[in-house]
A = this chain, B = another copy of it.
Amino acid sequence: MQVSEKLSQLRAAMASESIDAAIVGNTDPHNNEYVAPRWRCREWLAEMKGSNGTVVVTADWAGLWTDSRYYQSAEEALEGTGIELMRMSDIGVPSIAEWLKKNCKEGETVSFNGTNTCLKQAKAWIKTLKPAGLEIRSDIDFIEPLWTDRPAAPKGELYLVGDELTGQSIESKISAVREKMADEKVDAYLLGRTDESCWLLNFRGTDILNQPTPYCHTLVTTDEVMFFIDSDKLTDEATEKFTAAGITLRDYDEVEGVLEKLSSDTRLLIVPHYLNYQLAKASEQCIQIEGRPIATDLKAVKNATEVKHLKQSLIDDGAAMVRFYVWLYKSLKAGEKVTELSASKKLEACRAEVPGYRHVSFESIMGYGPDGALNHYSVDEESDKPVSLENIFLIDSGGNYAHGTTDTTRTIPMGEPTQEQKEDYTSVLSSMIELLILQFPEGTTGAQLDGVCRLNLWKQARNFKHGTGHGVGFGLEVHEGPQNISGVNAEHMKLGMITTIEPGCYRPGKHGIRIENMVHTVVSQETDFGRFFKFENLTFCPLNVDLIEPSLLPAEHTEWLNNYNAEVFEKLSPLLSEEETEWLKHECRAI
């Protein structure tokens, strides 16, 4: 079915329900970043891929809101569909709610699907639309009847992870959660985000491609822990382990009924950006307390065991990347055909050799030349292009291992770099190093760090439109909160947090550059002005020096770089063949 026909059918269905505007997103009931195919309603409707994109359809207009990462790919996908691209990262572009407020008439009705819209988003829409005289419906799934071959909910088996990896038992984590619940004076707490349940109960799942979190909920009360998951996902071992820990097992769909039956004096902690609107309504009789996500806050501060494992995983991962680099250059020099897709598969194969490998942490971004300028370009059969020994190559990828989740970006020259490429690369590298050598006082926010990172780029009138960094889960999701490094993040960077630093510079039609390391917040020193923290580098993967314009790299940054590459060589060479070691030695030479 063509997009235009899908839109026609949707409009007919909207008319029969007297809906004037429908919002169709790609979100699932847990506001996961990566969602099972069943929930990719926007992708089905507009045939536009990517982790961010929401369609609004009215009787005579349709628009798709997405951020700068997807501008170019969305533009291509939407061509000829009649759906207008709304560039939401640009200044002056109205938000969905602002657009609806302006373009809908008083008394008209807007609909969204409450089961796959988080409470925070639903409330924000309602807050803007209701006072503008618009009606809201959240109980219609327009896509279900139209999407005839819609995939079923996934049934992936879950598996346990041992305390020797997580460093903390289920029982100890439950105690820690209950302690925080007591501080917050709540009787019950619904863990809405799936990775929170994985962390709490020391398991992982296989429902979603490259995402270790199965569809599930956990409700912790003062005397019970109810784990909601389809029973056919549970192995005997898991059932036994959970039962032994005193956990009540319930089917996934039972959560709504359990919430409806909570007594009206229950003080229920809910987290608006993790809980869907439908479940929030199901528990309306309780005293709902909107608060911080306890499990997310606890999970973000990694324990010593997790950090120890993660460090090893990043060394293993770095060695895998070096094996890939050696293959890449060798193949091309031997005249073999390499494409972005074949390179992506090879890199995955290199990672798969690492003991403990589960899957990639996200679809690799393999951007050769102009494709690198598409911020979060994801290669597929259609977009695949050959890689040659000419332009520069942006590779953003990572592995999900039993001992840690990794996320590394490198930009490497495939031929003789241009002066512009060198200057862009050196600016970006210098921006990353600035945060790696920084010390900052306890209480520093992600937004302050974001400004520091961009300073060097701004001085040269460069900038990038995505965030500077994000939290990373331990063998869990590659993006996790609460912290991130961006212009509006007010969270404090805490000891033990694991975060990426990934500045970039993109020239559409030419090339893209991004460099990304993972870091661990540690103490720098205690002074009269309080405690200062700093970032301990965790990523060990060579930083190419042929792309550097030495006159633009401050001496302090050059020193850091030389020490870094020396350490990379020291840590990775024991894991490599003689040929790989030789290549790495040259790659890590001091400048």
Contact = CB atoms under 8 A, between A and B. Distances in A.
A428 to B, nearest CB: 13
Nearest to A556: B459
Contact of A451 (B442, B450, B488): B450
A488 B447 contact: yes
A487 B532 contact: no
Given A487-B447, A530-B463, A455 B452 contact: yes
A440 interface: yes
A492 to B, nearest CB: 8
Q: Interface majority SS on A: helix, strand, loop or mixed?
A: mixed
Interface in A149-201: 183, 185-186
Contacts of A528: 507
A438 interface: yes
Contacts of A440: 458
Contacts of A441: 458, 463
Interface residues of A, number: 49
B447 A532 contact: no
Contacts of A507: 528
A488 B487 contact: no
A458 B534 CA distance: 11
Interface string A109-134: 00000000000000000010011110
A370 to B, nearest CB: 14
A131 B525 contact: no
Nearest to A290: B127
A449 interface: yes
Nearest to A127: B290
Contacts of A442: 91
A51 interface: no
A91 B450 CA distance: 21
A525 B488 contact: no
A454 B443 CA distance: 13
Nearest to A288: B131
B445 A458 contact: no
Nearest to A98: B183
Interface string A458-493: 110111000000000000000000000001101010
A351 interface: no
Contact of A185 (B132, B288, B445): B132
A420 to B, nearest CB: 11
A444 interface: yes
Interface in A496-535: 507, 524-525, 527-530, 532
A339 interface: no
A101 interface: yes
B527 A461 contact: yes
B461 A438 contact: no
B289 A131 contact: yes
A487 B487 contact: no
Contacts of A444: 451, 487
A379 B127 CA distance: 47
A433 to B, nearest CB: 13
A458 B449 CA distance: 11
A185 to B, nearest CB: 5
A532 B439 contact: no
Contacts of A185: 101, 131-133
A267 interface: yes
A425 to B, nearest CB: 16
Contacts of A102: 183
B131 A529 contact: no
B443 A445 contact: no
A483 to B, nearest CB: 13
A440 B456 CA distance: 10
A458 B487 contact: no
A448 interface: yes
A287 interface: yes
Contacts of A448: 447-448, 450-451, 454, 487
A445 B488 contact: yes
A72 to B, nearest CB: 15
5 closest Cβ pairs, A-B complex: A448-B451, A447-B447, A451-B451, A131-B289, A488-B490
13 contacts: A91-B492, A127-B290, A130-B287, A131-B267, A439-B458, A439-B459, A441-B458, A448-B448, A461-B529, A461-B532, A462-B529, A463-B529, A490-B490
Interface of A: 91, 101-102, 127, 130-133, 183, 185-186, 267, 287-290, 438-445, 447-452, 454-455, 458-459, 461-463, 487-488, 490, 492, 507, 524-525, 527-530, 532
